Structure 1
Amino acid sequence: MTPAAVGFQCPDDVRAGNAGVRRARPVPRWTAARRRFGPVTATLVAVNVAVFVVTAVSAVSVGEGPLENWRSPVFQEFSQVPVLVDVFGQDWRLITGAFLHIGITHLLLNMLSLLVFGPELEARLGWWRYLGVYLVSALGGSVAIQLFGEPGRPVAGASAALYGLLGALGVLMLAARQDLRGLLTLLAINVVISFLPGVSLLGHLGGLVAGVLATALLVLTRRALQRRRAVVQGAGLLLLAAVLVTVALVVPVPVVVLGL
C-alpha cells in the first residue's frame, strides 16, 4: 500500500488512475511566440533576423566583421539605391531593402517596435490585412526615397513599414473615437528623431502616409457585403501597391531630384 493524504492507496489503483490522466505537452518556443505576438508579427521578426544573419555571414565571407553587415555583397545587392532601380531596372530593391538592417542596433530597435505595435494591429485587422498594410507601408517609404532621396545612397530598414503601422493604428483609433494624444505625441517624437544624421526622414514619412491610406481604405470598405468585403479590400490594397510601384518606376530619379 502507498501512504496518501488520507489513508492508504493501492499501487495498482494509483497506476491505473495516472494512466487515464492526460499530461500537458511542452509548447515549442516558435508556437508560443506565434500565439503571443501573432503569426504574421512573429514571422516578420524571424525573417528580418534571418536576413540579418545572412548579411553577417556574407560580410565575413569577404573579410569584414559580422556586425559590419552593410559591407556584405548580399546587403549591396538588395538594399535600395534609387539610381540602380531607375537606371538599371533593379526593381526588387523597392521591397527587399525593407528587410535589411544596418548593424545589430538598427535591427533590435526596429524588431522591438514591431513586437510592441504589431500584435495589436494584427488582432484588429486580421493577419492578411495587417500584412498588406505592412508591405504597402514599406513600399510607400521606398517610393518617397526613390523620388526625393539621394540617387546613389543605399537605404535599408523596416522603419518605413513601422511608421505605416503607427499611421494604421491612428486611423483605427480615430474610427473608434479613441484619444489620439498619446499616439500623436509618440509620432511627433519619432519624426523629430528622423531628422538625426543617418536616419531616413523621407522613408519614415512615406511609410506613414502609405499606412494611413491603406488602413483608411480598409476602414471605408469594412461595411461592404460580407462575402465581397475581403475581395474589395484585397483588391484595394493590391491597387494601392501597384500605384506606388508604378510611380516609383515611371518617374525618373534625376528629374525629381534636380527639380527639372
Structure 2
Amino acid sequence: MLFVRYENWKSYLRYYPITTIIFVANIIMHLVVTFNGGASDPNTLLKFGALTNWDGYNEWWRYVSSIFLHGSFSHLLFNDFAILVFAPPLERLLGAWRYSLLYLLSGVIGNILSVAHYNRIGEALLTIGASGAIYGIYGAYLYIALLQRNWMDDSSRKTVYALLLVGIVFSFASGTEEFKVNWVAHLGGLVCGFFVYGLMARILKRRIKRSGHN
C-alpha cells in the first residue's frame, strides 16, 4: 500500500523534508493568526495573506501566502493530515524541488481560477487553505493510477479513486453560508497537478532514456 507510512519520525524528516516544512508552516501560520485576532476575523486573515478579489488587496504574493492559512483547527487538521499521509510518496518520486513546484503551482493555479471565477459571476471572494495544492497531489496520483498503472498497486489505486469521489462530494455538498468550500480551487489544483505531473514524468522518462544511451 503506497500510502501507509512505516518510517519513524526521524526517518520521515530525513526522507520528506519539503512535506515536513509545509506541515509545520501550516501549523505556525495558524497559531500566528489565532493569537492575532483569529481566523474568524477577515481583517486578520487579510493581514496575514488571505486571497481576495476586493479592491486594494490585489498583491500577487497572496496567491501563495493564502495556501498556508486555514479557517479553523479542523480545517488545518484535515489538510495537514492529508499532507502527512499522501504527500510523502510523491515527494520521494519527484524529488524535493519538483514536488515543491507541483504543490505550489497547483495551489496558485487553483487560486487564480478562483479569482477569475468569482470576478466573472460578480461575487466577493475571500479564500484560504491548502486544498488546491493538496488536490494537485491527488491529480498527480490520478495520472499515475490511469496512465502509469504498473507504478501503483490496486489498493492504492482504489484509495485514489475513493479520495477523489469523496472530494467531489465534499466540494459541492459541504460548507455553510459563512464558510463555503472553494470548489474552483479544488478543481483547478486537481487539473494542474494531473498535467504538471504528466509533464514532469515525460521529461524524466526522456532523461532516463538519454542517460541509458550514453
State the TM-score bracket (shorter-chain normalisation): 0.7 to 0.9
Deviation at 1:57? 1.4
Name the CA shift for 1:216/1:199 in 2 (closer, same or farther; >3 Å). same
Aligned to 1:153: 125
Amino acid at match of 1:79: A
Aligned to 1:80: 51
1:127-178 residue CA offsets vs partner (Å, 9 max, x unmatched):
1111111001101210121111264221100011111100111212334224
Deviation at 1:56? 1.0
Deviation at 1:30? 7.5
Aligned to 2:134: 162
Amino acid at match of 2:23: V
8 Å CA contact retained: 2:115, 2:125:
no
8 Å CA contact retained: 1:82, 1:145:
no
Aligned to 2:31: 53
Name the CA shift for 1:225/1:119 in 2 (closer, same or farther; >3 Å). closer
8 Å CA contact retained: 2:33, 2:44:
yes
- The alignment's TM-score, normalised by the length of structure 1, stands at 0.66
- The alignment's TM-score, normalised by the length of structure 2, stands at 0.79
Distance in structure 2 (CA, Å) of the matches to 1:105 and 1:88: 27
Aligned to 2:13: 34
| Larger radius of gyration between Structure 1 and Structure 2 | 1
8 Å CA contact retained: 2:102, 2:136:
yes
8 Å CA contact retained: 2:52, 2:58:
no
8 Å CA contact retained: 2:50, 2:62:
yes
Percentage identity across paired residues of the two chains:
30
Tell me, yes or no, if structure 1 residue 127 matches structure 2 residue 96.
yes
Distance in structure 2 (CA, Å) of the matches to 1:132 and 1:169: 16
Aligned to 2:187: 205
1:44-63 residue CA offsets vs partner (Å, 9 max, x unmatched):
0011111111111111xxxx
**Runs of 4+ residues over 3 Å off in structure 1:** 29-33, 178-182
Listed as ranges, the gaps of 5+ residues in structure 1 are 1-28, 60-67, 230-260
Name the CA shift for 1:46/1:210 in 2 (closer, same or farther; >3 Å). same
1:83-103 residue CA offsets vs partner (Å, 9 max, x unmatched):
34xx65322211111110001
Name the CA shift for 1:52/1:97 in 2 (closer, same or farther; >3 Å). same
8 Å CA contact retained: 2:143, 2:198:
yes
Aligned to 2:170: 193
1:218-244 residue CA offsets vs partner (Å, 9 max, x unmatched):
012123346x99xxxxxxxxxxxxxxx
Listed as ranges, the gaps of 5+ residues in structure 2 are 1-7
